[in-house]
Amino acid sequence: MERTLIIGASGNIGKQLTQLMLNDGHHINALVRDKSKLSDIEHPNMTIVEADLTKDFNHAFENCSNVVFAAGSGGHTGADKTMLIDLWAACRAADYAKNHQLKHFVMVSSIGADSPSSGPEEMQPYLVAKHMADEHLKQSGLHYSIIRPGSLTDKEPTNRFTSDRPAKKEQAIITRADVAQALLYCVTQPSEASCITELFNGDKNIADVIK
């Protein structure tokens, strides 16, 4: 029986992915700092694992085959939390996954992580953290799918995607619900080769975007 670890299962994207996977019949470990944030989800296929990502969370990987790193420090924290969560915790998650011989690591990164210095000055610490975490995963030897979504919105899902970066910044967007759908696809239909995909709302099915 395959089991997926969702790191950041109570976050804006992680919680939607958690519900999608449970609805689809998957078994999951939901890693959260405070289990009360998942009090509205009850399912026999879900095991809640409480852990602080700034400390040891190796135990969360036990009996898992795949992992999705959907955690983030949030937009209201400083560069210190960004380094601890978006960089350091993500790097340690890759190390733990390798130690546990997981089959597939799905990373939620960000548009602009390929070239942090080209991003807005106020976003550069975040983009550097995402860039370094992605590089660490790429060098880990794990099979990986790195998703780099555009600017996130809370609108209703469109179920339509593109990996072609729009020319206009205001069009380089994607709903959090659509990101969750894409992550579900990555887990259930893993690509044969490791891949990095920028992701925006567009006019294609997810299967035509993540191959």
Query: What residue spans of the chain are helical by DSSP H?
Result: 14-23, 79-81, 90-99, 124-138, 176-188
- Sign of the alpha-carbon torsion through 188, 43, 98, 150: positive
Which class for 93: exposed (0-12), middle (13-18), buried (19 or more C-beta within 10 A)? buried
Contact 157, 178 (CB under 8 A): yes
Catalytic status, residue 126: yes
Give the active site residue among 96, 126, 144, 185.
126
* Active site members: 126
